[in-house]
Amino acid sequence: MTLDENEETHGSAERRETNAMEFQRNVIDVAENNDREKNENVVDVDGGNDEGENIENVTFVESGEIKIGMQVSSEEEAYNMYNEYALKKGFSIRKAARRTVNGVVRQREFVCSKQGFKEFEDPSDVKKYNHLETRTCCCARIRFDVKNDIWTVSHFNDIHTHEFASPEERCNLRSGRKVHSRHGNILSNMVGAGIKATKSYSFLAKEVGGANNLGFSRRDCHNFLRIVRKEIIEAGDGQSIINHFKKRQSEDPMFFYSMQVDQDNRMANFFWRDGRSKLDYDSFGDVVIFDTTYRTNKYNLICAPFVGINHHWNNILFGCAFLVSETIESFIWLFETFLTAMGGKQPISIFTDQDQAMASAIKEVFPKSRH
């Protein structure tokens, strides 16, 4: 073997790595083309085939496998069919392209969650959160053609470029995590009775034989209850709070309150302090204790009091807030509101629990305070 042949055979690792992905894409493209040609020869998705094969009569429930020609009656059924298949194999899915004609869906695709690559981002852009890249250019997908409200599988590619999740890991697949109505009702009733969300989740997990069988994570539980809290704050109760604050302000010119609404213009967070609290803070506001471990019973809102200590070693209240969620955005709004209410005076020291979101907000709003 000559030197040139040896160099060509044993090319650099970088060249092989660069060409590997392109080769893989070509292989997948060829496989898709072969599948498409095979599908055209085997089944006519518009109305059967000439050889009389009734592949579409085989249902997913019966076979547990997806075949060209299978039919469902809605987009929800189509998604659920592919999602159930994906969870059994160990991968997650997401919705992809949708083709419409005059506003009517004619074709719909669902793909593996690892499909494609993340779009290029400018590294100079500062982001609050950095997420790990999980996409591997996987081309697994399913396509449905829609005619006369019948959703028919017209293309199915089951070639993946990644490993599947193990049975123990499948409970964490995103498309499979969902708080079903029966579990949601139990959580809402238990929290409404004064039981903490964490204990309610642990109870449900124990009832079904472990968290792996529950179908959603502890974070999903808290997110579900947060959404419920937003929805159940009745307009009458919200207006009653506003009326009470206005009455207090008419009686106490130094009374201060502020409210934050969500994207649906519903009340989410609110803060207040009276004139006495402002005078106490002016005298004893060097040290502030901020605690969010309390909950209300009806709406399970987070009670967040600002507490200090006077010269008699007695606790004094500088202000109080109710929050829907313990997010960085909620804490930033609250601390900025507190700062405005107290004339811009920052505490020298502030004591809190070990909450990362709270710590990040304090660092941004109270940069001069010790935490």
Residue 30 is predicted with a pLDDT of 46
Q: Which residues contact 167 (CB under 8 A, 6 or more apart)?
A: 90
The per-residue DSSP string of 152-186 comes to: EEEEEE---SSPPPPTTTGGG-GGG----HHHHHH
Is residue 352 over pLDDT 60? yes
- Across 28-37, 195-204, 307-316, least confident range: 28-37
Task: Give the mean model confidence (pLDDT) for residues 314-331.
Answer: 88
Nearest 5°: the CA angle 194, 317, 292 is 40
Q: What is the DSSP letter of 212?
A: G
pLDDT of residue 275: 92
**For residue 138, what is the DSSP state?**
B
Per the model's pLDDT, the better-predicted residue between 371 and 32 turns out to be: 371
Q: What is the CA radius of gyration of the chain?
A: 29
- pLDDT band at residue 135, thresholds of 50, 70 and 90? confident
The residue extents of the domains of the chain are 19-120+129-176, 181-232, 235-365
Structure tokens at 187: 């959580």
Phi, psi of 335 (to 5 degrees): -65, -40
- For residues 89 and 196, the model is more confident at 89
> Is residue 71 helix, strand or coil?
strand
Task: Render pLDDT for 184-202 as a digit per residue (tens, 0 to 9).
Answer: 888 878 877 778 788 888 8
Q: Rounded CA gap, 292 and 331, in Å?
A: 11
The pLDDT score that the predictor gives to residue 333 is 92
200, 207, 203, 230: which is closest to 302 by C-alpha?
A: 230
Residues 62-88, mean pLDDT to the nearest whole number: 87
Q: Give me the pLDDT at residue 277, please.
A: 93
227 burial type by CB count under 10 A (0-12 exposed, 13-18 middle, 19+ buried): middle
Q: Could you read off the pLDDT of 90-115 as tens digits, one per residue? A: 898 989 988 999 889 999 999 998 88
The burial class, CB within 10 Å (0-12 / 13-18 / 19+), for 158 is middle
d(CA 221, CA 198): 8
- pLDDT at residue number 22: 57
Query: Which of 124-128, 235-239, 272-276 reaches the highest mean pLDDT?
Result: 272-276
Beta strand ranges found along 205-275 (DSSP E): 256-261, 267-273
pLDDT, greater one: 350 or 216: 350
